[in-house]
């Protein structure tokens, strides 16, 4: 990959404090990008900013809860005030909650997932669009394979990711004459710490038990970031990661009943191995 593609490009990354977002920040810094990194936890960002600077990139941190519209507006305004433009917006922030829909006592937690995963992308995109039009830039949506087909116990998360896909697919048609490209990314299972940070129905995090979910056959954050960066460079429409992700999409399209059977079986195996909460 030619490193000069990203040099001096102003890139916003939400959810930059860990996982895929953190890895994207560290990788893009090596290519000389100017980074505006958004996350809620300030204490995690100091070292990331330092590493980005040491790698040859320029980085600022804007504390942001993407579920809050005013904070998303501030993120965009602060980025432009510092760097003067926006070339790429990477909507990466999000989290999951595990539990069957009929087990929710109320929809407060459900709504929290929708607000962060879906509306966070909507808010940031809304405020960034005028600047992206000027640079004929790019929007990247980090979705999930669960934005292509659904699994049991993930109604909130799947809803947010399906909504995200629908929003960006429609928006792509609306802005296609403005020179802005939208790239949707559908990762499969990536070793990110995502499972540990999932919220259970009682409001607590899955925590250390979530590590049982991972195995050495799963994709690393480094490899995931490489695929995303390559897709952005080529301004691809979408990328579905992993062979089982691609296969799952096709099975769900050709035979939804077979897809339901397979996913139900896989869910039973996971719950037997890891416990219902995971």
Q: Is-catalytic flag, 186?
A: no
DSSP class of 267: H
Domain annotation covers residue 278: no
Domain annotation covers residue 269: no
As for how many domains the chain has, the answer is 1
Query: Catalytic: which of 31, 119, 131, 157?
Result: 157
Domain annotation covers residue 275: no
pTM: 0.89
Domain annotation covers residue 79: yes
Domain annotation covers residue 188: yes
Domain annotation covers residue 260: no
Closest CA to 127 of 82, 64, 70, 184: 70
Question: What is the extent of the structural domain holding 91?
Answer: 3-243
Domain annotation covers residue 259: no
CATH number at residue 216: 3.40.50.720
Closest CA to 1 of 236, 241, 238, 227: 227
| 108-122 tens-digit pLDDT | 889 999 999 999 999
Domain annotation covers residue 190: yes
The residue that leads in pLDDT, 70 or 203, is 70
123: CB partners within 8 A, 6+ apart: 66, 68, 69, 72, 73
pLDDT over threshold 80, residue 198: no
| 216-275 tens-digit pLDDT | 677 888 999 999 999 999 999 999 998 888 888 889 889 888 888 888 787 776 666 555
Q: What are residue 138's DSSP bridge partners?
A: 88, 181
């Amino acid at each position: 990959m030619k490193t000069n593609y990203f040099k001096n490009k102003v890139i916003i990354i939400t959810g930059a404090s860990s996982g895929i977002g953190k890895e994207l920040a560290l990788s893009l810094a090596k290519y000389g990008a100017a980074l505006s990194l958004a996350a809620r936890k300030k204490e995690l960002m100091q070292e990331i900013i330092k590493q980005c600077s040491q790698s040859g990139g320029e980085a600022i941190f804007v504390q942001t809860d993407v579920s809050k519209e005013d904070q998303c507006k501030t993120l965009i305004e602060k980025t432009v005030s510092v760097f003067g433009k926006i070339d790429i917006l990477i909507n990466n922030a999000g989290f999951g909650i595990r539990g069957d829909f009929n087990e929710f006592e109320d929809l407060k937690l459900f709504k929290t997932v929708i607000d962060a995963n879906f509306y966070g992308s909507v808010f940031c995109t809304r405020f960034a669009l005028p600047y992206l039009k000027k640079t004929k830039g790019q929007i990247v949506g980090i979705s999930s394979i669960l934005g292509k087909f659904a699994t049991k116990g993930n109604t909130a998360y799947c809803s947010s990711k399906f909504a995200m896909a629908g929003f960006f697919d429609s928006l792509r048609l609306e802005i296609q004459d403005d020179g802005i490209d939208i790239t949707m990314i559908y990762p499969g299972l990536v070793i990110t710490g995502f499972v540990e940070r999932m919220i259970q129905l009682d409001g607590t995090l899955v925590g250390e038990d979530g590590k049982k979910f991972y195995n050495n056959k799963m994709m690393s954050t480094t490899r995931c970031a490489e695929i995303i960066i390559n897709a952005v460079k080529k301004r691809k429409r979408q990328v579905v990661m992993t062979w089982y992700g691609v296969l799952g999409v096709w099975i769900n399209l050709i035979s939804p009943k077979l897809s339901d059977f397979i996913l139900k079986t896989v869910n039973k195996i996971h719950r037997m191995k890891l416990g219902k909460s995971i």
